[in-house]
Amino acid sequence: MPKRKEISLDLRQKIVDLHFQGEGYTAISKRFMVSRTAVRCIIAKYKETKSVQNKHGRGRKRKISKTLQRKIIRDVNKNPWTSAKMIVSELATSGLDVSRKTVVRALHRGGLRGHRPRKTPLLLQRHIKVRTQGRNPKILHVGPFWKSTFPFSG
């Protein structure tokens, strides 16, 4: 956690401009009420990078990379009954130590959420046959309806 508020980009640019106009560190620090060390660091950074922007990639890196996240999501889509604990143990065997919550967050970022399984099982072919007996035979020719309603029917 930082001890102070971050110096804004426009203030950093003003500090650099005044320095190149010939003003000293102490005068700049008194004018903008920042420490001399901050002024010196801002100017040194500008001389090195020609920019007052923050460096890209600051902060903690994710333990689960984007490619690993895609692999986890692909595996869960193949086998929806996979639990987060099973994924954690699988990752532990490959040498990556992550928590269950980390895996759950990765799945949430991929648009997958935990759901309870439905209580009634899907209809089998014999169930469909019994339900359609004695009905209009034209209904039986509507194949896409049954395939979309009952994925294992066909």
Residue 93 tokens, joined:
């065997």
Mean pLDDT per 10-residue section of the chain, whose length is 154 residues:
82 96 96 95 95 86 94 93 94 95 95 82 81 63 57 50
Domain locations along the chain? 9-49, 66-109, 123-154
Phi, psi of 17 (to 5 degrees): -60, -45
pLDDT of res. 23: 95
Check residue 57 and report its DSSP letter: T
pLDDT of res. 148: 60
pLDDT of res. 153: 47
pLDDT of res. 47: 95
